[in-house]
Chain A
Amino acid sequence: LTVSEDEMKAIAREIRGQVVQMSHVKKTPHLGSSLSCVDIVVAVYWGVLRIDPQNPWDPGRDRFILSKGHAATTLYAALARRGYYDPAVLETYNQDGGHLAEHPCLRCVPGVEASTGSLGHGLPLALGMALAQRIRCAGGETPGLAKTVSSQAGTFPPSATQYRCFVLMSDGECEEGAVWEAALFAAAQKIDDVAVIIDYNKWQATGRSDEVMALGPLVDKWRAFGWSARELDGHDIGALLAALEKLPDGSGKPLAIVAHTVKGKGVSFMEDDNNWHYRTPTADELQAARKELGLA
């Protein structure tokens, strides 16, 4: 799949429109958090991941974990747009008896890699996935012992390709202790095929993320934990692609991208206004948002 940056920008506008609409129709919160990470999700799904939406559970696929599960609408809309399932399914979002809840559940639709919503879980999962690959690659470690059971059981199949794991976290999520347990372990084990992207929109549910906790300087913290860390504009798709195109990056370290973003990005009256963590748009606001996004 080769998609130009301009096309990705257009896709990002479409997804933003979809996300605002889902929040309006189903009256669900976390709109600001969903909008701030759209460009990251688009860059990853259209320009970075080695995936095949027609074969969503290929053991050799790259994994993307939406650790900030409250941005579920962005993931759902992106997966549908990327061809994992019929976009009509999006209409069942948050419906009684439906599959698409306000936080994603493993395999609720093709492409959802983990059940998330409680923060600080995605990175340890990704490290486990990375170690599973390392263990598989170390096969034949036991002299004189045949590799028997897995081939019979068929549950741990060999894969032709090496997969990578990408984890999208929120800045507030970096306050969870489990994140830093995982950061310490990943560096010790030199797990260089895992990347963390932090949607640093400077807000958490009820306050500025740098004020509620001493989060900054965030990139320095990751670097001090032994990661290859850099910061960039999380709405610059070109910059995201350049930062993520090479993983492992050759440093022998895991990669942390601190992506500076704006909460509510793309809709002027939502941008950097934390009321949109919980507020849902009216019909008029939906219309205004669609107009700004060039969709109406």
Chain B
Amino acid sequence: MKILVTDQAGVDHELEGLEGWRVMEVIRDWGLNIKAECGGALSCATCHVYVDKDWLDVVGAPSDEEEDMLDSVGDVRPNSRLSCQILMNDALDGLKVTLAASAAKD
């Protein structure tokens, strides 16, 4: 299955993902500009992405804890998600997300 990721520079990438991987892990594994400093513990918000509007319903809403964590970035939008909280499955084949500025490495 594949995901389509637009990086902070506006470049599109088609990445191969595996069932059960977190979207953050897919993006990190392909070497895109994602800091993901807590490694998926929902403790940092440095894997922040914007979910394409056509995919919002499929991905679903963030949990309360994820919503709280989003308080620690300054570029939240209604379609903001932490990519460590989105697990790859068949329904997400073709998912489109955009990396937020706040997810960039230094």
Instruction: Indicate whether A and B interact.
Output: no
